[in-house]
Amino acid sequence: MRRKTLLLETDDNGWLRQRLGLPDDVRTAQSVDGSEESLALACLPVSGGFKVLLGAPPEKRDELLRRAASLFDRIVLDAPSGMNFPTGVTGGVFLLPPTRPALRRAERSLREHDAFPWAIVCNRLGSGGALTPSLMSKELGRAVDVGLPCTPALRDVEDRSEFLPIRYRWTRAVMRVAKALDEL
């Protein structure tokens, strides 16, 4: 959306590296020292037009956020559920599977952190048992900004880490997510 964006991973469990198709030996937040150059080098460009900083340990997260704010227009923090939000947060994205247990957890978290706007994204699940985005919107009392369809083709594209670099028919849905984020 023509903004410099950084995705900051809060721990290094390897799933994001794998999902983005990055090799195991890429730079991480562990390589960042006191220099701006080390921070800039550790922020890796990825498909989709943004950068990612992998493996930011909790004790370095606030400092990395503060320093990255001078380099980027937007920082997306990959935050585990139950994490306390750092100072300066102005919006959030809630990514949840379309299930009743996820809906109940989301309701609790949204009530606890109602101080800023949220973009709510309904991620695809497997076959069966999924709630529709419109039903989720009704039960949450908030709009679900986009729901990615549950199709084997989409699941396969995601599993091959090809979702961002190649334009698929879901690109429009992804752009709606980007627009919702841009409005936060």
- In the beta sheet, which residues pair with residue 52? 7, 44
How many residues make up the chain in this entry?
A: 184
Among the three residues 80, 103, 130, which one is the final residue of a domain in this structure?
A: 80
Burial zone of 87 (CB within 10 Å; 0-12 exposed, 13-18 middle, 19+ buried):
exposed
- For 143-156, b/e burial (b = at least 16 CB within 10 A) is ebbbbbebeeebbe
129 with 154, same domain: the answer is yes
Q: For residue 146, what are the β-bridge partners?
A: 121
In this structure, what DSSP letter does residue 183 have?
Answer: T
Last residue of a domain, one of 61, 80, 99: 80
Domain boundary residue, one of 80, 104, 121: 80
Q: 57 and 9 in one domain? A: yes
Residues 118 and 160 in one domain: yes
Half-sphere exposure of 131 (CA within 13 A, CB side): 20
Q: What is the DSSP letter of 3?
A: S
What's the total number of domains in the chain?
2
Helices (H), 79-142: 100-112, 133-140
Q: Residues 103, 174: one domain?
A: yes
The pLDDT value given to residue 155: 67
Q: What is the mean pLDDT of each run of 10 residues along the chain (184 residues)?
A: 76 76 87 89 85 86 84 77 65 76 82 76 63 82 71 69 59 67 65
- The model's pTM is 0.65
56 plus 128 within the same structural domain: no
Q: Do 169 and 100 belong to one domain?
A: yes
CATH of residue 163: 3.40.50.300
Domain that holds residue 28: 1-80
Terminal Cα distance for the chain, rounded: 13
Residues 94, 163 within the same domain: yes
Query: Within this chain, do residues 69 and 134 fall inside the same structural domain, yes or no?
Result: no
Do 98 and 118 lie in a common domain?
yes
Q: What is the pLDDT of residue 117?
A: 77
Note whether 118 and 28 are same-domain residues.
no
Instruction: Count Cβ atoms below 10 Å from residue 18 Cβ, excluding itself.
Output: 11
Given this model, what pLDDT does residue 52 score?
A: 92
Q: Say if residue 66 is in the same domain as residue 99.
A: no
Which pLDDT does position 18 carry in this prediction? 81
Separation of alpha carbons 166 and 169, rounded Å: 10
Same domain, 98 and 154: yes
Sheet with 50-53, strands from edge to edge, namely: 44-46, 50-53, 5-9, 74-78
CA 87 to mean position of chain CA atoms = 18
Q: Tokens for 35, please give them.
A: 């220099």
